[in-house]
Structure 1
Amino acid sequence: MTTAPRAGPWTPRVALALAVLAAAAFIYVTAEIMPVGALSAIARDLQVSEAMVGALLASYALVAAVATMPLVRWTATWPRRRTLLWTLACLSVSQLISALAPTFEVLAVGRVLCAVTHGLMWSVIAPIGARLVPPSHAGRATMAIYVGTGLALVVGSPVTAAMSEMWGWRLAVGAITVASVAVLLAARFALPAMAMTGVVAGGRPRRGGHYRNRALLTLCALTLVGVTAHFISYTFIVVILRDVVGVRGAQQAWLLAAYGVAGLTGMALFARPGDRRPKAAVAGCLAGSALAFAVLATLGFADWPHVLAASLVAVAAIVLWGATAIAMPPMLQAAAMRHSPDDPDGASGLYVAMFQVGIMAGSLTGGVVYEHAGVAAMLTASAALMLGALVCVLLTRGLFAMHPATSEK
């Protein structure tokens, strides 16, 4: 049986492996959010409403949330590289189906195939990174992988949106297909096999008893609340930029890029604190996001004219929101894995499932609040939920312990 490599320092080989994992995250997130930038182009080409194309995002999150834990259990004995390669192969096939889809229904099928393996990919990618480095560097390794997510927001989504406008959405999806195949080949040669720890001949890996693990369940519940708070407003970030910040047209793209760049910067700044003082780092991110939402909500309720001073404050809030919201998930996922040392993949899978449920809950709640109460009330809801998550983190002990005594505590 192939054994996992011994975790070592940040060697060039480890750096290359982490870069490949970040590339996998980049291409998956780019594929997930591609319909956002190509909404009108897809609707025109397939002769459906833009609302139907928008529904692809909510259905994606639903499928990912439902499929994650069963697939994590099914692939429990597989070497981790094989699992990742399988998800990348499914992504490549799904994008090829989508690029050639003659109807909206076929496009939806391609999206479902991508969504099915999305949660599994995120369930194994962070544990792979954590096993490449010493335990003291696990948080930084996870943060390095999440750089791919930030780059998807800054580069992937704008580029595919531009390609869709200039040459058609099918060519954009075709480019994602080619890129996913390239990442698949890179992962095959850059990553070690990584057999599951605790596997005996003919047996299954040891389990951490996730549904009896109070700390892990509490952490996942707080993740659900925080992600819901974020997506209540993020789903309508273009509306916020227009109605609160006062930015319209092409200038929105620059501010969205600034949001993503702030996220990458935030990940860099929180990488070391996330390993050494994870509770303080997470609390700082929650406080920053809550403050950003509160400032934007205040500007929304005040309905101030878009004078320079108010616009600058709003822009600063958007940047703060990006820096703290994007930096938080890798620290939460690293904490989840620490609470189940015998089965980090399963713990990561539970975290990912709750994250996807949060995306759905936030998008749906945000739509209802925005429709009935407006953008300011929507931002207030985000601020209130984020502040509630912050209070729970500050009052709860043991959630971010660096070395939990057991996976049950």
Structure 2
Amino acid sequence: MQRTWTPRVATALAVLAAAAFIYVTAEIMPVGALSAIARDLHVSEAMVGTLLASYALVAALATMPLVRWTATWPRRRTLLWTLACLSISQLISALAPTFTVLAVGRVLCALTHGLMWSVIAPIGVRLVPPSHAGRATMAVYVGTGLALVVGSPLTAAMSELWGWRPAVGVIAVASVLVLVAARLALPVMALTDAAGGVRPRRIVHHRNRPLLMLSVLTLVGVTAHFISYTFIVVIIRDVVGVHGAHQAWLLAVYGVAGLTGMALLARPGDRRPKAAVMGCLAASSLAFAALAALGHLGWHTVAVAAAGAAAIVLWGATANAMPPMLQTAAMRHSPQDPDGASGLYVACFQVGIMAGSLTGGLLFQRAGVAAMLTASCVLMLGALACVVVSRGLFADHPATSEK
């Protein structure tokens, strides 16, 4: 019997995870370097904060057009192109004399962010048999978890010690190294339908009802998550009652919990995807409900800190395990065009990031942390109810609606 996880496949998946790691690290770099960038470029911290929302907006708008434009390209070439753009964008950012130039560099990175996520999971899935698609996607998403545990704290520390420009420069060098590794480790993966430069028949995804429902579900879930995640440091400080350096430790535990959750749910995500997603949504709802209750109480005791820390860990474990399962389900709903289905999923994900960040900011300013957490809980419960009553959204091999 042929082995699935050969050294060659494992190496290729590791390179894909490295690409995810470096892209997500670049995306969230301003979070850890907020003050350093503001001081150096003589702008407010609020202005620097707009780099995240604008990044998500550009990524959401550019994903589907770029997926269509590169439809005839071999998948490796597409990934290499996105990594090259990332490298150039980080070089521009590191040398930016003004905030405007920095924003331009971020836009170049954001333009290809969605395209990268649209092809990276389909590449991983093509490396393994269909029965292992979920596990391959989960392996790629390990890079995202590592970006939260290692990439973001590391760039934040470098920004404090040496300045934010060297930190961005390191990201640029690392992205070039990942580009070279991808060129050497990944197969070309030419599209048979695009042989000879002939563009494949366009799949009309707006007629694929299960895919649309799954994308809307993703948007709601991501919005629920980012309403609170945008202010997770405030939640840890004001609700859980953890201050100072201990906040960084709890954030690291949040990331480690995410990696653990992905590992534990890799196999169930392939065999019983609906049950796995329902479990994640239910656990996330429980975590938000617990944190909201603690926020309303306003107590600061050892017991409250322990309960709050446990809720943070549960939140991290479930929130990071869901995206690969949802993206795998999206690709299964369009076997003729997994890249396009993945692109639609990514676009909705980016809209969810933007909607969640903006909504969370409004709730935080006008109603407080407890109301913000309650909104996350309500939306997550709504997503759970939709999954419970749905049929065919998470079938192992759902039939596509395309004709």
Same fold? TM cut 0.5: yes
Structure 1's unaligned 5+ residue stretches are: 1-6
Match of 1:272 in 2: 267
Task: Tell me the residue number matched to 1:287.
Answer: 282
1:86-129 deviations in Å (ceiling 9; x for gaps): 00000000000000001111100000000000000000000000
Distance in 2 separating the partners of 1:227 and 1:404: 23
1:362 equivalent among 324, 334, 356: 356
Pair 1:224-2:219 in alignment: yes
Aligned equivalents of 1:342, 1:294: Cα separation in 2: 40
- 2:108 pairs, out of 103, 106, 113, with 113
Instruction: Choose the corresponding residue for 2:157, options 149, 154, 162.
Output: 162
Q: What does the per-residue CA deviation read over 1:370-402, in whole Å, with 9 as the maximum and x for residues that have no partner? A: 111100000000000000000000101000111
C-alpha displacement at 1:198, in angstroms?
2.6
- CA RMSD for the aligned pairs? 1.1
1:391 aligns with 2:385: yes
User: What residue number does 1:4 align with?
Assistant: none
2:20 aligns with 25
Q: Is 1:332 aligned to residue 307 of structure 2?
A: no
Deviation at 1:249, TM superposition (A): 1.3
The answer to whether the aligner puts 1:54 opposite 2:56 as a matched pair is no
1:344 is aligned to 338
Aligned with 2:60 (options 61, 65, 89) = 65
Give the length in aligned residue pairs: 402
* Inter-partner Cα distance in structure 2 for 1:323 and 1:236: 18
Contact 1:98–1:173 at 8 Å: present in 2 too?
yes
Q: Choose the corresponding residue for 1:316, options 310, 321, 344.
A: 310
Deviation at 1:350, TM superposition (A): 0.2
Q: Which amino acid aligns with 1:355?
A: F
The residue number in structure 2 matching 1:236 is 231
TM superposition shift of 1:8: 6.7
| Mapping 1:120-269, distance limit 5 Å | 120-269=115-264
**Is contact 1:8-1:132 (8 Å) kept?**
no
- Offset at residue 208 of structure 1 (A): 3.4
1:316-362: CA deviations, max 9, x gaps?
Answer: 00000000000000000000000000000000000000000000000
Deviation at 1:227, TM superposition (A): 0.1
Paired amino acid for 2:187: P
In 2, Cα distance between equivalents of 1:152 and 1:168: 19
Identity %: 82
Q: 1:166-192 CA deviation, whole Å, 9 max, x = no partner?
A: 000000000001000000000000000
Query: In 2, Cα distance between the equivalents of 1:359 and 1:408?
Result: 29
CA shift, 1:196, in A, is 1.8
Distance 1:77 1:143 in 2: 26
CA offsets per residue over residues 71-93 of structure 1, 9 Å max, x none? 00000000000000000000000
Shift of 1:204: 1.7
- For 2:187 and 2:266, the matched residues in 1 are separated by 24
* Residue number in structure 2 paired with 1:79: 74
Distance in 1 separating the partners of 2:277 and 2:32: 31
